[in-house]
Amino acid sequence: MASLRDIRRRITSVKNTRKITRAMKLVAAAKMRKAQVAAQSAQPYQQSLQTVLGRVVAAEDSIEHPLLAVPSNKLNVVLIALTSDRGLCGSFNSQLIKHTIQLAKKYKAEGKDVQIIAYGRKIVAAMKSEGLDLLHEDSGLKPEQFADKAQELSKMLVSMLEEDRFEKVLLCYNEFINVMTQEAMNKQVLPMDLSDVQDEQSANADYIYEPGGTEILAELLPLNLRAQLLQAFLDTEAGEQAARMQAMENATKNAGEMIDRLSLEYNRARQAAITTELTEIISGAEAL
């Protein structure tokens, strides 16, 4: 049985840990609110862009654009994976890493050559340990850098598409649904598929565009690509902070429960020690 001194030390240690987790929860909550506003504010723009794309596609009989062209390369698949740089955020990183590895193994089983574009220290380390080919890696990004990184990444992807270096590009990230839920998902970003952006209203409407739909798409499609990449960065940031806030809240709660158990154990041990001393005193007095 642990001594009273050992139990007191454990109680002090757990209390100090609880102070840290509570502080981390408050910091994550403050960052999460800002990141959540940024992620949710970007969604209407992307939805409006998708609506306009649907209307342009519905108004045109045939549309040709490099971002819509099906590559002749059928061997290479590029996966863009985004995680955080730090841990202590529950299963946020592990679920995305597992999802990306399973996707890479699936395409490798089909005979494809899989290349990874990784953002975040956690995904970079995981891909290297799995022996996957890293085409590009980056970490230590700040929210104010997301727009520039999305622009830089979109230019790199367009250049690779023009050089016919891949069959398709899939974007893997944790979609920010709400504070409690972030789901690992993937979607194809290149070549673009506009078949699913036409809604019933767009299909039945008669739009006349000046200049023509091809010229409009030449401007809108690169914007749409950057918007999707930027949304992934914003969702990853918001999801990381939300997951960390929840993880630190659970850790703080567990620390409180452990303190209660240790305090009970300490009181019982203290009472047992007092009882033992009293018994020894009474036994000694009777012996005399």
Mean pLDDT score, 110-114: 92
Residue 144 main-chain phi, psi, to 5 deg = -70, -10
Mean pLDDT score, 45-62: 76
Comparing 6-15, 43-52, 198-207, 222-231, the range with the smallest average pLDDT is 198-207
pLDDT computed for residue 52 by the predictor: 80
- pLDDT band of 196, cuts 50, 70, 90: low
Domains and CATH numbers, the chain: 28-245 (3.40.1380.10)
Comparing 62-76, 96-110, 226-240, 245-259, the range with the smallest average pLDDT is 62-76
Q: Catalytic site residues?
A: 89
Roughly what angle, to the nearest 10 degrees, separates helices 92-109 and 121-130?
40
- Tokens representing residue 191 in the block: 């070549």
- pLDDT band of 186, cuts 50, 70, 90: very high
pLDDT computed for residue 118 by the predictor: 96
Spatial separation of the C-alpha atoms in residues 187 and 26, rounded to whole Å: 33
pLDDT computed for residue 208 by the predictor: 67
- Please say whether the beta carbons of 225 and 154 come within 8 A: yes
pLDDT computed for residue 51 by the predictor: 80
pLDDT at residue 228 is higher than 80: yes
Q: Give how far the C-alpha of residue 56 lies from the chain's centroid of Cα atoms, to the nearest Å.
A: 32
- Tokens representing residue 145 in the block: 């850098």
Whether this model's pTM surpasses 0.75: yes
pLDDT at residue 22 is higher than 80: yes
